[in-house]
């Protein structure tokens, strides 16, 4: 297939550019009015204190939804949540065939099943190193190393040139599980000529190399060998090699392994499904582990990020039904602190320490964790192998992307573009540049619903959390005379004992009454007008009496 004169190749990130998380990348090919698309990864990001009640956030797919009939395929690079987590929610809006390797497909199916869309989805398992032609895109999988089984880079060949979409990667010479980085395939691609490389920026500020899982194994074995009492290791369940290392350390030191936490069991099943846990002794249940001598057990726990409902938090609170840790026991954090989780992790560690548990982190025991993303030396090596004409950093916050641009320039890359979500970058023909802006944004998973980020709900929730709620209700008759009330109620207010001027709610009720009385007879016949006047006066009075302006709800009832 050769390019027609008005064909263009474009790259459009709708998530994951200017943030670490929520990856959603689109490649379009064809004339501007008739592009065919493939989507690479459909991931989530996680809520924080600024999104009360919302734990999961998705990229807004509105733009691609408009072009749903032109989406030829969705290719998933690997099974991390920030790459596949949104599939169950968003696939029904995109409805394109899905391509993934076996391990990723195993976890994907679970997600789709949970959301009730598995039966409709067309999932093709592509072998590692395999290739698939999707319309004008010839997509080849390149085996990389990362912190989860089966991480793939994608070579995306089109009549206008080849893109290497790296996905998440590092160069681990001994990843323990799975193959090493397929250097030959990458170099070959570089020799054939790569138009653009869209590349992981997570560790662009870190010098040197990320380090190998094999080094972690050595350190972990050595550490566990010195420990008496019960040992718990906390790590990301998706890091199956790390799980394997913990299991190895247990076996080498006469301990039996007990998996604690749902995602540990889920990942162990996924790993077993692709034959990764063949040499592993059977795990023991929590009940059996509880009866073992303390120095014969090793718990592998979820919750390294201080997640309040995860296994480790429950253990730290003494609330786990079967797992107890106390004086003489040890907890090893084989994980990094994800930015934003510093406080919950510190709280978790304080609670464990308070029980007498000794803690080990990569701060005091360097080498018990390594990152899954490329540091500067690995990035440089990749640029030497690939020699792209255009560098497009992704998978990073603004500062990461801009630093990555500087690094790419140092590596003699001729053109660089650091896009923001929604920037449509033309890769060919001509110089790479941003040619259009597509709508982009976030969707919140709010209970069982999806809401847009510009909705009122979260703004109101933050306001409520800060200043509480007052509600005032008054019953008026047909002539606007007060028949009952006003009654003022509050949520999240200082208590009666805290309030030196008497009962604040009584004061506010009196003020509400005066507000109604002050309105003219005509005005009092208008419910909305009365409600507005009440909201204003109660807000103002609250500011004067209490020093805060809570959310005020006013209701007028008629008899």
Q: Which is nearer to Zn ion, 76 or 257 (CB)?
A: 76
Q: Which is nearer to Zn ion, 168 or 423 (CB)?
A: 168
Q: To 10 degrees, the CA torsion angle through 248, 254, 255, 256?
A: 80
Say how far apart CA 337 and CA 346 lie, in whole Å.
10
Smallest separation (angstroms) from Zn ion to the CB of 19: 11
**Footprint of Zn ion on 402-421 (CB under 5 A):** none
Token pair of 131, please? 């290739």
Cβ-based neighbour number of residue 364 at 10 Å: 9
**Which of 81-89, 93-101, 119-127, 225-233 is the region at the interface with Zn ion (rule: CB under 5 A)?**
81-89
| 381-385 CB contacts, 8 Å cutoff, 24+ apart | 381/171, 382/166, 382/169, 382/171, 382/186, 382/197, 382/199, 383/197, 383/407, 383/408, 383/411, 383/413, 384/411, 385/183, 385/186, 385/187, 385/190
Please pick, from the candidates 82, 172, 307, 329, the single residue that binds Zn ion as defined by CB under 5 A. Answer: 82
Smallest separation (angstroms) from Zn ion to the CB of 472: 49
Q: Which is nearer to Zn ion, 145 or 158 (CB)?
A: 145
* Residues 82 and 43: beta-carbon distance below 8 Å: yes
Half-sphere exposure at residue 55, Cβ-oriented, CA atoms within 13 angstroms: 7
**Which of 6-14, 73-81, 228-236, 338-346 is the region at the interface with Zn ion (rule: CB under 5 A)?**
73-81
What is the three-state SS of 196-231? Answer: EEEEECCCCCCCCCCCCHHHHHHHHHHHHHCCCCCE
**Footprint of Zn ion on 449-468 (CB under 5 A):** none
**Footprint of Zn ion on 291-350 (CB under 5 A):** none
What is the three-state SS of 90-151? Answer: HHHHHCCCEEECHHHHHHHHHHHHHCCCCCCCCEEECCCCCEEEECCEEEEEEECECCCCCC
Say how far apart CA 485 and CA 471 lie, in whole Å.
12
Using DSSP's 3-state secondary structure scheme, residue 436 falls into strand
Smallest separation (angstroms) from Zn ion to the CB of 164: 16
Smallest separation (angstroms) from Zn ion to the CB of 538: 48
**Which of 72-80, 94-102, 314-322, 340-348 is the region at the interface with Zn ion (rule: CB under 5 A)?**
72-80
Q: What is the 8-class DSSP label of residue 17? A: B
Q: What is the 8-class DSSP label of residue 420? A: P
Please pick, from the candidates 36, 80, 165, 242, the single residue that binds Zn ion as defined by CB under 5 A. Answer: 80
Q: Which is nearer to Zn ion, 239 or 542 (CB)?
A: 239
Task: Rule CB under 5 A: say whether 81 interacts with Zn ion.
Answer: no
- Residue 196 C-alpha from the chain's centroid: 26
Q: Which is nearer to Zn ion, 168 or 307 (CB)?
A: 168
Give the residue among 108, 102, 110 at the shortest CA–CA distance from 126: 102
Smallest separation (angstroms) from Zn ion to the CB of 80: 4
Smallest separation (angstroms) from Zn ion to the CB of 168: 3
**Which of 164-172, 359-367, 397-405, 436-444 is the region at the interface with Zn ion (rule: CB under 5 A)?**
164-172
Smallest separation (angstroms) from Zn ion to the CB of 300: 20
SS3 content of the chain, % helix, strand, coil (to 5): 35, 25, 40
Say how far apart CA 246 and CA 259 lie, in whole Å.
11
**Which of 48-56, 79-87, 96-104, 416-424 is the region at the interface with Zn ion (rule: CB under 5 A)?**
79-87
Q: Binding mask 29-68 vs Zn ion (x if CB under 5 A, - otherwise)?
A: ----------------------------------------
Task: Rule CB under 5 A: say whether 168 interacts with Zn ion.
Answer: yes
Say how far apart CA 95 and CA 86 lie, in whole Å.
13
- Whether the bond between 408 and the residue before it is cis, its omega within 30 degrees of 0, is no
Smallest separation (angstroms) from Zn ion to the CB of 238: 8
Q: Which is nearer to Zn ion, 48 or 433 (CB)?
A: 48
Q: Which is nearer to Zn ion, 168 or 329 (CB)?
A: 168
Smallest separation (angstroms) from Zn ion to the CB of 227: 30
Q: Which is nearer to Zn ion, 80 or 314 (CB)?
A: 80
Smallest separation (angstroms) from Zn ion to the CB of 501: 54
Say how far apart CA 13 and CA 92 lie, in whole Å.
20
With CB under 5 A as the rule, give the number of residues binding Zn ion: 3
Q: Which is nearer to Zn ion, 238 or 467 (CB)?
A: 238
Q: Which is nearer to Zn ion, 9 or 401 (CB)?
A: 401
Applying CB under 5 A, which residues contact Zn ion? 80, 82, 168
């Amino acid at each position: 297939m050769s390019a027609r004169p008005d064909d263009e190749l474009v790259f459009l990130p709708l998530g994951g550019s200017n943030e670490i998380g929520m990856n959603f990348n689109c490649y379009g090919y064809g004339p501007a009015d008739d592009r065919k698309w493939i989507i690479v990864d459909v991931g989530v990001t996680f809520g924080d204190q600024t999104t009360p009640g919302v734990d999961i956030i998705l990229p807004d797919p509105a733009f691609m939804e408009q072009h749903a009939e032109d989406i030829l395929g969705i290719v998933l690079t690997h099974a991390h949540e920030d790459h596949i987590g949104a599939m169950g929610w968003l696939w029904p809006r995109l409805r394109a065939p899905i391509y993934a390797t076996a391990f990723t497909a195993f976890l994907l199916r679970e997600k789709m099943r949970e959301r009730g869309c598995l039966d409709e989805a067309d999932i093709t398992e592509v072998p590692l190193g395999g290739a698939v032609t999707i319309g004008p895109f010839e997509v080849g999988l390149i085996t990389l190393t990362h912190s989860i089984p089966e991480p793939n880079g994608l070579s995306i060949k089109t009549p206008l040139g080849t893109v290497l979409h790296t996905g998440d990667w590092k160069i681990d010479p001994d990843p323990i599980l799975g193959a090493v980085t397929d250097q030959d395939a990458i170099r070959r691609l570089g020799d054939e000529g790569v138009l653009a490389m869209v590349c992981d920026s997570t560790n662009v500020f870190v010098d040197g190399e990320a380090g190998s899982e094999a080094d972690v194994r050595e350190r972990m074995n050595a550490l566990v060998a010195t420990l008496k009492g019960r040992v718990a290791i906390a790590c990301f369940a998706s890091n199956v090699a790390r799980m394997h290392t913990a299991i190895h350390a247990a076996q080498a030191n006469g301990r039996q392994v007990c998996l604690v936490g749902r995602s540990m069991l889920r990942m162990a099943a996924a790993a077993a499904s692709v034959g990764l846990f063949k040499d592993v002794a059977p795990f023991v249940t929590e009940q059996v582990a509880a009866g073992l001598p303390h120095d014969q057990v090793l718990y592998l726990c979820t919750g390294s990020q201080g997640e309040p409902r995860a296994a480790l938090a429950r253990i730290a609170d003494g609330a786990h039904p079967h797992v107890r840790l106390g004086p003489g026991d040890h907890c090893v954090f084989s994980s990094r602190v994800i930015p934003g989780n510093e406080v919950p992790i510190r709280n978790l560690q304080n609670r464990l320490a308070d029980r007498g548990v000794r803690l080990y982190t990569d701060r005091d025991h360097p080498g018990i964790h390594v990152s899954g993303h490329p540091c500067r030396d690995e990035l440089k090596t990749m640029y030497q192998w690939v020699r792209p004409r255009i560098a497009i950093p992704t998978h990073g916050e603004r500062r990461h992307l801009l630093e990555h641009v500087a690094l790419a320039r140092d590596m003699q890359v001729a053109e660089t573009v650091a896009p923001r979500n929604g920037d449509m970058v033309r890769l060919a023909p001509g110089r790479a540049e941003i040619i259009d802006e597509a709508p982009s944004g976030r969707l919140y998973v709010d209970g069982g619903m999806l809401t847009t980020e510009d909705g009122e709900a979260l703004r109101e929730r933050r306001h409520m959390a800060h200043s509480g709620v007052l509600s005032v209700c008054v019953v008026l008759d047909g002539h606007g005379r007060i028949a009952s009330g006003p009654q003022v109620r509050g949520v999240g207010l200082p208590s009666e004992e805290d309030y030196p001027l008497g009962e604040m709610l009584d004061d506010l009720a009196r003020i509400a009454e005066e507000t109604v009385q002050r309105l003219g007879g005509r005005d009092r016949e208008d419910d909305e007008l009365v409600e507005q006047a009440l909201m204003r006066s109660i807000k103002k009075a609250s500011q004067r009496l209490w020093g805060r302006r809570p959310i005020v709800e006013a209701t007028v009832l008629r008899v």
